[in-house]
Structure 1
Amino acid sequence: MNNMIRDIPLFPLGSVILPGGRIPMQLFEPRYLDMLTRCMKQQSGFVVVLLSRGNETGGPAQFHDVGTCVDIVDFQQLDNGLLGITVEGDCKVRVLRNWQQADGLHVGDVERLPPEPGAPVPGHLRELPSVLKALSRHPVIKDLGMTLDFEDARAVGWRLTELLPLEVHQKQHLLELQDPLERLENLQALLETLDGS
């Protein structure tokens, strides 16, 4: 499998998504509407990267170099007249180089990161799937239609990283980890901090 993806659109956001996760997005800037058209024609995705400086709309933006390649799984016209899309995380990638097109769209060459090894959730971390089950009952989470796996350490860690009320820099750190058990240990420590605050 070729690990390189060249000339792929990059979408700097104020949040992170991991493989298997879903997030709804609203598109209104011409550069992103053009990007959507291109993705639909080519049946390809784009990369969501976390902003480190700047904002999601207009102006210069700096972003982290590890993000997630996403596929568009749904789109519709929203009541506010904007185009709404739902994207699903496919694989984690590292941005090797990037540039900004004349229309302001960020584009780059990325490499797929190695898949994380599968592992069951260890006994001493069994509280984490229970927390995920509780979060998954929320109507907003249900509406995303995600497939949830409460046994696999990768899946539990990925979903908790997205859904827990953590600082974005903490979420980025958890995204960048390649060991699912290390991610769960980190999440357990962060949960204990949240409980204590």
Structure 2
Amino acid sequence: MRIRDRRLLPRCELPVSAYCLGLLALENFATEMGQPQMTEHSHRFRVETPMFPLGSVLFPGATLPLNVFEERYRSLAQRCVGNEELFGVVLIEKGHEVGGGDVRSSVGCLARIFEHREFADGRWALLVRGETKIMIDEWLADDPYPVAITSDFPDDVNDGSIEQGMEVLKRLADLIAKAKSVGYEMPTIDPEAFAVGADAEELGYRIAQLTPSGPFDRQKILTRRSCAERLSCVEELIIGLEEVLDATRGNK
């Protein structure tokens, strides 16, 4: 039996000794019932999660199309579609998506399937949306797809602000306008319309998704533990792109 509610337990005001005994009792109960355990230090549930290592990074709130043709990942798709179950997406740092033997990142993102199609030859077309960040605590034996013990990877602090996000977004919009002026094909951004309905965290991930960057830069953003840090990381990327673009324009 898998625990699907990954929220933290409510804060407890019991004395430390009683609290520790309570944690121990919960772990013993979880073990007896075959349930995932909570770690002593993080107080977060550790769960067994089907995993899909990729050469790209999935952000919370972002969508990602997947063409599933390997037999083991067909099994993963069938399981997750049939059980309405989430799976983890994690970046392959070294190696390839096909065949195994790869080196994977330790931080990924849970993915929810919201559109799917199975073809007559057994392939699957999936459209997934990123949910929450996860830490990969331990890799298990393939079953037949990769499986890992994972836990939540929440931010350390809630320090994001719409104001910071809008500043970074406007800088990105200016960069895109400059790039389009010298022939690059990029989508035009209306910052106000782009930010509609988003809180600071959602806006930060939207900006990160739109910023031109490679998988390792995107992984660096994903691993940041606060909204402000992620926005600062994105802004550094934008500054670097501005310098490259200015140099390119100067040589023309």
TM range (shorter): 0.7 to 0.9
Larger C-alpha radius of gyration, 1 or 2?
A: 2
Structure 2 residue identity aligned to 1:83: W
SS, match of residue 184 in structure 1: helix
| Aligned-residue offset at 1:55 | 0.7
Matched, 1:10 2:51: yes
* Aligned residue runs from structure 1 range 21-40, under 5 A: 21-40=62-81
User: Where does residue 128 of structure 2 map in the other structure?
Assistant: 87
Aligned residues: 187
Of residues 110, 114, 120, the one that matches 2:162 is: 120
| Aligned-residue offset at 1:75 | 1.1
Structure 2 Cα separation of the partners of residues 129 and 152 of structure 1: 18
TM-score, normalised relative to structure 2? 0.65
User: Where does residue 209 of structure 2 map in the other structure?
Assistant: 162
Question: Which of 94-103 and 105-114 deviates more?
Answer: 94-103
| Aligned-residue offset at 1:95 | 0.5
Pair 43,5 (structure 1): closer, same or farther in 2 beyond 3 Å: farther
Report if the CA contact (8 A) 1:132-1:160 is conserved. no
Of residues 56, 59, 67, the one that matches 2:108 is: 67
Matched, 1:196 2:243: yes
Structure 1 Cα separation of the partners of residues 46 and 174 of structure 2: 35
Report if the CA contact (8 A) 1:132-1:156 is conserved. no
| Aligned-residue offset at 1:165 | 2.1
Matched, 1:48 2:61: no
In structure 2, list runs of 5 or more residues that go unmatched.
1-6, 9-43, 178-185, 245-252
Of residues 220, 228, 244, the one that matches 1:181 is: 228
Structure 2 residue identity aligned to 1:155: E
Report if the CA contact (8 A) 2:175-2:242 is conserved. no
* Aligned residue runs from structure 1 range 97-112, under 5 A: 97-101=138-142, 103=144, 105-112=145-152
Q: Which has the higher strand share?
A: 1
Pair 171,120 (structure 1): closer, same or farther in 2 beyond 3 Å: same
TM-score, normalised relative to structure 1? 0.81
| Aligned-residue offset at 1:157 | 2.2
CA deviation profile, 1:94-123 (whole Å, cap 9, x unmatched): 0110123263x1101100122563532326
SS, match of residue 163 in structure 2: coil
Structure 2 Cα separation of the partners of residues 149 and 69 of structure 1: 23
The one of the two structures with greater contact order (alpha-carbon pairs below 8 A, sep at least 6) is 1
SS, match of residue 73 in structure 1: strand
Question: Which of 65-74 and 80-89 deviates more?
Answer: 80-89
In structure 1, list runs of 5 or more residues that go unmatched.
139-147
| Aligned-residue offset at 1:166 | 1.1
Structure 2 residue identity aligned to 1:98: W
Structure 2 residue identity aligned to 1:120: I
| Aligned-residue offset at 1:149 | 3.8
Structure 2 Cα separation of the partners of residues 132 and 33 of structure 1: 40
Report if the CA contact (8 A) 1:121-1:152 is conserved. no
Q: Which has the higher helix share?
A: 2
